[in-house]
Amino acid sequence: MGILPIPSSEALITRAVKTLETTAFKHANQRHLLHYIVKGLGDLPTSALEQLNQYLNAPTAAQYPHADAHMRLIIGLNDKLKPPIQITQLLQLRQKFATEMVAFQSPSVWQQTNTDEHLKIDIIKNKLSKNKVSNNRKIFNINANENGNTVQWQDKIIANADGGDMIIRCYQAKNNHAHNGDELSGDEPNADNVVMLFFHGGGFCLGDVNTDQEFCHVVCAQTGWAVVSVDYRLAPEHPAPTAIRDSLEAYSWLTKHAHILGASSSRIVLTGDSSGGGLAALVAQQVSNATVGQPSDKQEDNNTLNDFSVDIFEQLQNLPRPLAQLLLYPITDIGTDYPSWKLYGQGLILNYNDIAVFHAAYLQDSSLTQPHALISPISGDNTQICPSYIVAAELDILRDEALVYAKQLQGYGIKVQTHTMLGAPHGFTHLMSVHQGIGREMIHIIDEFTNFVRQIIAT
């Protein structure tokens, strides 16, 4: 009996490309082309995926036994196609990053009615004026989810920490009927009266409210909670502590306006991924300590506070504490190397060089010195922090600092639940609609955190 011919790598790639063209290019929405391509790769037979991995010199199953062939192909492609990040090119990279993150997302979270395309483009480019937004507020309707509800979102402009404009995007789950009026109001399926305040990742240098549209939409649809995503200012134009100042300003705004989103100011949960996870942890830390009359910025050398810390302390003293926090592969300890840096510092989604560039951009012109509670959450006083659900990615240079932070909180008697996403790299939330395993795991994590929060409410 003859042996079936094994296709060459070139023939295999040609076949894969043709398959992907059939899948991707039949869709009219080219804005999400990466979504169709990367998702389509997952539909290839495992044998074909492994041959592609071998051709690309992607990680093997022996190296990362918890990562399936599709995930290892994504990692391999990223390693081949991603150029080294340079601090002088961050501004150009920012637009490219924003475009690509949207391109990975499912078009279903962007379907909308009665939209002004020019307004949408301006939002993406962050060129909105306050008058333009106030005069052109739009409600975006998403297809009904499996519970029979729609998710709507609206961009608003609030003041940043220096009184300038800052975009926030407000999401609400709605009963599936016509919407009337200009504000997000009506019948919300938010029985928990919870609102999630979300901070995007991107090394404090990249990202905006569009880059995590998919995650915010899915959380809103799955939980019924309101979600508010914050477009804080970025480095290097705005070094530390600008991002945390803007984040605290957003928290302060939400405590006063949670009711217009059908939520309670006493039921704010903080969430962020990567650097955004670090910002969420810093907001939780600063607010929690201010409400018990204890600043969280004492320096070890002289036990004093800088002027900025005093201002924050006074601003936050009377604010309600956050109910809980969900941190997704967060930055918690800038400047400290952990074993995961050596294990996963090269060849993955986030590498050592990336972090070095991001940290330099964020800190080189900063007035703060390291270690500092307003830079690294682990450096501050976390004894009063809210209950925390902390998610680490196995194949992540930041894995260990997330788990060390969780252990620190547990040592203080804080209610903590951890989850390590096996076989997943840094930034896995951006793969939730293109990788089946990640999608299932994200649904599980959101369900687990929902139950975590409901247990807190019940006690």
Contact present, 200 and 207 (Cβ < 8 Å): yes
Contacts of the segment 304-308: beta carbons below 8 A, 24+ positions apart? 306/367, 306/368, 308/241, 308/245, 308/367, 308/374
Residues with active-site annotation: 274, 396, 426
Q: Are 197 and 269 in contact (CB under 8 A)?
A: yes
What residue has token string 């600092």?
Answer: 401
Pick from 203, 95, 227, 78: nearest CA to 152: 227
At which residue do the structure tokens 């009063």 appear? 384
Edge-to-edge strands, sheet with 140-141:
140-141, 149-159, 165-175, 226-230, 195-199, 268-273, 324-328, 388-395, 416-425
- Measuring CA to CA, which residue among 172, 43, 33 is closest to residue 106? 33
* CB neighbour burial string for 144-165, b if at least 16 within 10 angstroms, e if fewer: ebeeebbbbbbbbbbebbeeee
Residue 233 CB neighbours (<10 A): 18
Tokens of residue 296, six digits: 């969280």
Q: What does 359-424 look like in DSSP terms, one character per residue?
A: HHHHHTT-S--SS-TTT-GGGS--TTPPPEEEEEEEE-TTHHHHHHHHHHHHHTT--EEEEEEEEE
CA 49 to each of CA 53, 63, 390: distance values in angstroms, whole numbers, following the listed order: 6, 16, 32
Q: Closest Cα partner for 169 from 221, 232, 108?
A: 232
